[in-house]
Structure 1
């Protein structure tokens, strides 16, 4: 099995560059790097990369940069549609995982810090060139203890905290999904987040109900009725994959980081290591 992973943040499809809208000479561009967070300063209407669906991103939406393109001194960013909450991405109809390029101008975006509700994992981590390892953390937590051997067929419960502040729960989700995510079992807006303290728990509150499998009701009314805790266990699990034709030759090692959501054990696909 060829398990080479290509980082979308390093290469942005040339066709997307052509989607940039010409800007006036006075237009100011933000300095941008992959994985950083931006907030929209106005409603942005764009297309998916396949040009088959219109994606409308409301003003005030926090997004994470997945890819960057540059042309004639003008920069643009590409967003992973699966990192947008369902009420935004549902118009994609399962085609095209990336948006078209969006001009990274001060009219469209402003820089923001890493949101509190994403404090349970390292959003900015990277490995240097030549490290034979790539970072994959993306806020998706799967029920279980380690990366599954049958990764292309596995279906697991999943919790996803989106950059725009939604808690999405899937009772049964494909572990590897090459399409835009379908409708979650539950999708609720996070109304408050408390960063990890000594306990290592990120605590999230919502007004709308969350499944008992991951959270509890703590108040009868108000914006903070339900609570979900995500605890990083500081434990790592390795799953090895060997070459299909030469089964004694190691091809890659998948590293999963252990978590606890409520009282149940989850993991995040944290990185892939390739043998030298």
Structure 2
């Protein structure tokens, strides 16, 4: 079986090429659909086993990154998205796509209230755009299907608003208790990093991504689709000389996990 994946395009998002390639290399069949075409026929969403909100600058980041897209998608597709999730399908959001998912309330939904936002993704503490590679650690107890079996990874970040934030300590505690933090920014020893530059945005609890309690909905700020080939890594030549040249870019592992999950469904 070749699972199919819906990739929403248009209105400033711009990672459709590398996102499509990621799913293809993982064994899925990605289909790019412009948001306008999806809103004209919202039932099309159910033709797919997974949905991806990709990176970029949807609606020019007006009123904060991801906000306008979240409002429009949430208003027009609320019932279809709820049914899509209830049917057990997967949703992935990367960078701007994660911002959209958080502001729409798809993640973390730790209290069981889908499409009811409990956190936001806001401006980096440093006050400006960040573009470099970060160290990540994955939490083995998280239910996230995308991160199963993963421990450490380096991925690039490219964002000006990546700080996961809530003013409510009880909300943050609930997110942690539900296992909705599958990935964190890490220091050189693999410990959760709160200080810049290991944590590029000041995200609470070093959160680099969030999932829902089922683990099927997942969003993260770093870009796994930007590390599909070993040569994508900025020090690939040094790694090759050290005998640490992987078969493929480590970002592909998240997509491989997702495709395996869809095949087993």
TM-score of the superposition, structure 2-length normalised? 0.28
RCO higher in 1 or 2 (8 Å CA, sep ≥ 6)?
A: 2
Give the number of the structure whose residues are more often helix, by fraction: 2
Give the number of the structure whose residues are more often strand, by fraction: 1
Radius of gyration: which is bigger? Answer: 1
